[in-house]
Amino acid sequence: MNSEPRTSVHGTWSGRWTFILAAAGSAVGLGNIWKFPYMAGENGGGAFVLIYLICILLIGVPIMVAEILIGRRGRSSPANSMEYLAKEANTFPAWKLLGVMGAVAGLLILSFYSVAAGWAVAYIFEGFNGTSANYYGESFDSFLQDETSLLFFHSIFILTTVAIVARGVIKGLEVWINRLMPILFIIVILLCLYATQTGAFFEGVAYLFTPDFSKINGSIILAALGQAFFTLSLGMGAIMAYGAYMPSKQNIGSTAISVAFLDTSVALLAGMAIFPIVFANDLQTASGPGLVFVTLPWAFVNMPLGLLFGKLFFILLSIAALSSAISLLEPGVAWFVESFKTKRYVAAIGLGLIAWTLGIFSALSFGLLSDFTLVGDRNFFDSMDFLSNQILLPLGGIFIAIFVGWVMKKEKVLEELEIKNELIIKVWFFFLKYIAPLTIVMIFVEGLT
Ligand code: PHE
């Protein structure tokens, strides 16, 4: 039992499974189905995938446990949980800034995430009757030049996110998320079955799972690390915010492992569905952000009941994106509600407006603003993506690991964890205290220089 049981003003998840589903809802999203395959394709396939898996296991899972733990013990928004735990550990209140930085990172991610989610929403209206895979390549390229549609779908998506967060995450999510996520999982498996029929299944799978280490360099390792954080929703407080609503009886360790396992399975299955289609149709593996919008529509054209499955797939992908977007906005909104006594809907609209405005630049960065570069030679969209995923999230991860590993009193940590097995505790502490922070710093040094 906690020495001082606290409850969150925003509520507590009702069922035992709801936290897992909510955390999985945050984790599983565009990161798995849209971003993972195109990152793997741009970074040479197998070796990238291997490093990504290692990062998930050795860095992601230990940090996820730490994040849930901070949230559940603090029982409030990431910023205030950090403040509370810093006080409990008799250390600087400035640790609160970690939560504030997370809320900011959440808005940056939401701004471009919403644009990509808008693409998924737009594809619900596709007829799935194109004539070739290349046809879908061209139609995605011309879609990126259609400013009105891009801004329309971006706006619809942010608006829906804001509406749900305004009502309260728990009410907004619990009702439907546990019914819909399993259906998405089934469609992705169906797509894998289709991929076995393309004639290039083994080529696609070999591409994903045969590492070619000559392709590896510092920036690819950094990209894999960033993707591991992004896909597990780590480093910015999303999982921390949800941890605050987790019942105190639930075991944090096994929960984190279930979420990471589910999330990784969806990403790998998506890759196994997409790459065979790439090879069977002589498409480029490095097709960039359009990859899933080119390959999967063509799969639906060729599949029995393809129109139905196609629409269902993009509907569910949009919903998966929505349940992730909610968790991007929640840390900031919960903090405003607690600390500035703002009404929930006012905070949600205000912060949503910031993300929406930034997102306009991302939406236009493949057309009108394509010559405008921000970080290196990256356009606005890619700059937001790079800054948040490859810098802010891993940086947040370092501080979370240091806080739980070094700053919090060990007995408090153990009290919250409720793990009896000495060995597991030792291994977890070792990864949290040494492996995670040191590896991230090393990857930064390699990848950014
Ligand atoms: N994990 C989500 C996805 O894969 C994105 C996300 C990142 C959500 C960070 C919350 C926090 O789509």
Give the residue, 170 or 187, on which the prediction is more confident.
187
C-alpha 197 to ligand 1 mean position (Å): 31
Any idea which of 1-5, 7-11, 371-375, 418-422 has the lowest mean pLDDT?
A: 1-5
Give the residue, 198 or 113, on which the prediction is more confident.
113
Q: What is the three-class DSSP state of 419?
A: coil
Residue with CA closest to ligand 1 atom 11: 233
Task: Look at residues 222, 198, 159 and name the one whose alpha carbon lies nearest to residue 449.
Answer: 222
Please work out whether the CB of residue 117 comes within 6 Å of at least one atom of ligand 1. Answer: no
pLDDT for residue 313 is more than 50: yes
Please work out whether the CB of residue 324 comes within 6 Å of at least one atom of ligand 1. Answer: yes
CB 161 within 8 Å of CB 319: no
C-alpha 35 to ligand 1 mean position (Å): 10
pLDDT of residue 203: 96
pLDDT of residue 176: 67
pLDDT of residue 329: 96
Residue labelled with tokens 């710093």? 441
**Helix pair angle (291-301, 306-340), 10° resolution:** 140
Distance CA 368, CA 363 (A): 9
pLDDT tens by residue, 21-49: 889 999 999 999 999 999 999 998 999 99
Residue with CA closest to ligand 1 atom 4: 31
Q: Which helix (H) or strand (E) is 229 found in, with range?
A: helix 218-231
pLDDT of residue 202: 96
pLDDT for residue 413 is more than 50: yes
Is residue 16 very low, low, confident or very high in pLDDT (cuts 50, 70, 90)? low
CB 111 within 8 Å of CB 382: no
pLDDT of residue 3: 47
CB 448 within 8 Å of CB 223: no
Residue labelled with tokens 């998966």? 320
Summarize the confidence of residues 207-225 as an average pLDDT: 93
Ligand 1, closest atom to CA 230?
7
C-alpha 131 to ligand 1 mean position (Å): 34
Please work out whether the CB of residue 27 comes within 6 Å of at least one atom of ligand 1. Answer: yes
pLDDT tens by residue, 40-98: 999 989 999 999 999 999 999 999 999 999 999 999 999 999 999 999 999 999 999 99
Amino acid letter, 104:
V
* DSSP 8-state code for residue 404: I
Token code pair at residue 16? 């035992």
pLDDT for residue 376 is more than 50: yes
Token code pair at residue 120? 């998924």
Is residue 250 very low, low, confident or very high in pLDDT (cuts 50, 70, 90)? confident
Ligand 1, closest atom to CA 27?
1
Token code pair at residue 124? 């619900």
Contacts (Cβ under 8 Å, ≥6 apart) of 419? 251, 253, 425, 428
Task: Pick left, alpha or beta for residue 198 (phi over 0 → left; psi -120 to 50 → alpha; otherwise beta).
Answer: alpha
pLDDT of residue 19: 80
pLDDT of residue 174: 67
Please work out whether the CB of residue 109 comes within 6 Å of at least one atom of ligand 1. Answer: yes
Is residue 178 very low, low, confident or very high in pLDDT (cuts 50, 70, 90)? low
CB 169 within 8 Å of CB 326: yes
Percentage of the residues of the chain whose pLDDT score is greater than 90: 77
Contacts (Cβ under 8 Å, ≥6 apart) of 228? 52, 55, 56, 59, 60, 234
Beta bridge partners, 373, equal 379
Residue labelled with tokens 């603003």? 369
pLDDT for residue 2 is more than 50: no
